[in-house]
Structure 1
Amino acid sequence: MWRRIALFGGCLFLAVAVFGSIKAYSAKVKDADLSKTTPILLVHGTHGTENSFNGMISRMIATYGHSSDKVIITVKKDGTLVYDGTLSDKSKNPFIQVVFENNDAPIDQEAKWVDAVIKDIQNKYNVTQFDAIGHSNGGLALTTYAEKLADDAAPVMEKLVVIGTPFNDLDEEDNAATADFIDVANRTEALQDYIANNGKLDSKLQVLSIAGDLDDNQVSDGVVPVQSALSSRLIFANQVASYSEKIVTGSNAQHSDLHENTAVDAIIANFIY
């Protein structure tokens, strides 16, 4: 009896040793080589989930045919990255969706998580360049990353799309009801910080800012004032290779619906592809 237990224990130890070594080895093997394509990184806004960009990703793949495959990277509260999905060497402009388990974290923390994801996909997939799309505060996290955390060793962010991003916060008193402005009604501390650091942006970056105008009166998308979203011009214009703006109007321009709007899909596809 004892011999059988000892034998079983020895076999179990051997199995753990073998499979443990396989797991460790597999972790070092790149899942795919994406060095010859441009992945598209997506970052949701506050309280967003993996469902935030699911619809847009599916529509973009089906409608435009310039992207294939997607992977979801969940950033756990302790910073651990969990991958769901598989990419291959044949993946074309694949979508890499970033999901924060703590989806109400400060922007600076989200930017650090974005930085961790970018470094990980550089190692895992040999990513050398990428495009990025951020909805709402996801656009702030990407902008903070671009200004404060990106370095010469990191993959190059070639194009950035910000959708309904509150660069000058949400107060209508700080944001007049007009899209035709040289400056906002009042610069918030956050906007001033973005402007102060815009000299650190990559001069080759291309930026598209999309604002929602729910009632076609240049007030807001129901959450973010149009002027706040378009105060991106004070940050990016004359600092990057190209900067453009689009205003989407109508009932589908509501803040949470912007990434479910096919007009927004088309604007992004025209810019990204």
Structure 2
Amino acid sequence: MWHKLALFGGCIFLAIAVFGSIRAYSAKIKDVDLSKTTPIVLVHGTHGTANSFNGMISRITETYGKSTDKVIVLVKKDGTLEYQGTLSNKSKNPFIQVVFENNDAPIDQEAAWVATVIKDIQKKYNVTQYNAIGHSNGGLALTTYAEKLADDSAPIMEKLVVIGTPFNDLDGDDNAATTDFTDVANRTTELQQYIDDSTNLDAKLQVLSIAGDLDNNAVSDGVVPVQSALSSRLIFAGNVANYSEEVVTGANAQHSDLHENTTVDGIVADFIY
């Protein structure tokens, strides 16, 4: 009988210890309250990694001094999340970098993962609003999320920056070499879908689209045609509170270098802050 009581008492003690640690962990998570600041969510392009935005984050943090701290949210292939790094109540406009373990997934899948991350940072950090930056297909994932998956219960995307994002795909035949256009040479099915869904966008959203132009001839950044990147105007202009564009030229405007370009840093910082 005594052994049974001792065992029972030990179970109670273990349960209290485990429950207490869970409560302590939950309290620690809830102590991180970002509701009074605006985090910056970053989404890399195809084949991107945790290194994709590291340089930009460091340069903007050091140069402009309006953000502190960063955390990486790794989205595993099964959709589960792993947080790397820590934030605190003292974090100011922290960077939250979304990294896909499967970095070559379809855009709709990436958008669904973005939705999972946004809901999770709302729960963990009490995020109420945020700004977002997407490079290449990361811009497509964020746009797809904004048009199709964001709902009234989610934190508000206040500002969106898309960098070298191929809204009208990559074919030069579909994209004329000009920045002065009211329509692209030929609308792809994907672009038309973005246009059709654009009425779902938050009317208060502010959007900046950055295109790269290697030779200052309105052709491309070496991968994405300038007109494809700027076809964002057909999606956002007139459907959001503010839409603006920037074209960055020169050798450092190559597609994979756009988020390593200090000119782009300045344009992004001026917009998000």
- Residue type of the alignment partner of 1:228: S
Q: 1:13-60 CA deviation, whole Å, 9 max, x = no partner?
A: 966873476247524632510000000000000000000000000001
Question: Structure 2: which amino acid aligns with 1:69?
Answer: D
Distance 2:209 2:191 in 1: 15
What is the aligned partner in structure 1 of residue 21 from structure 2?
22
- Who is 2:62 aligned against? 62
Question: 1:23 and 1:111 mapped to 2: Cα distance?
Answer: 31
Deviations 1:120-169 (A, max 9, x none): 00000000000000000000000000000001111000000000000000
Aligned length: 267
Residue of structure 1 equivalent to 2:210: 210
Give the TM-score normalised by the residue count of structure 1: 0.93
Give secondary structure in 1 for the equivalent of 2:116. Answer: helix
- Structure 2: 5+ residue runs without aligned partners? none
The residue type equivalent to 1:119 in the other structure is K
Q: Give SS of 1:153's match.
A: coil
Contact 1:31 1:87 in 2 (8 A): no
1:90 corresponds to which letter in structure 2? K
Residue 84 of structure 1 pairs with residue 88 of structure 2: no
CA distance in 1, matches of 2:88, 2:191: 40
| 1:30-179 mapped onto 2 (5 Å cutoff) | 30-179=30-179
Gaps of 5+ in 1: none
Q: Distance in 1 between matches of 2:268 and 2:242?
A: 15
| 1:171–1:31 CA distance, 2 compared to 1 (3 A) | farther
Q: Any idea what SS the aligned residue of 1:197 has?
A: helix
1:194-248 Cα shifts (integer Å, max 9, x gaps): 0000000000000000000011110000000000000000000010000000000
Normalization by structure 2: what TM-score?
0.93
Q: Which amino acid aligns with 2:182?
A: I
8 Å contact 1:31–1:124 — kept in the other structure?
no
Q: Aligned partners of 1:31, 1:74: CA distance in 2, in Å?
A: 22
Q: Which amino acid aligns with 1:117?
A: V
How many angstroms apart in 1 are the aligned matches of 2:148 and 2:81?
21
User: Using the alignment, how far apart are the partners of 1:20 and 1:187 within structure 2?
Assistant: 57
User: Which residue in 1 is equivalent to 2:265?
Assistant: 265
Tell me, in whole angstroms, the C-alpha distance in 1 between the residues paired with 2:106 and 2:26: 30
- What are the superposed Cα offsets for residues 76-119 of structure 1, whole Å, 9 maximum, x if unpaired? 00011000111111110000000000000000000000000000
Moved over 4 A (4+): 10-17
State the SS of the aligned residue for 1:83.
Answer: strand
SS at match of 1:170: coil
> Aligned with 2:30: secondary structure?
coil
Instruction: Determine the C-alpha separation between the residues in 2 that align with 1:213 and 1:84.
Output: 35
* CA separation of 1:141 and 1:31: change in aligned 2, threshold 3 A: farther
SS of the aligned residue for 1:22 comes to helix
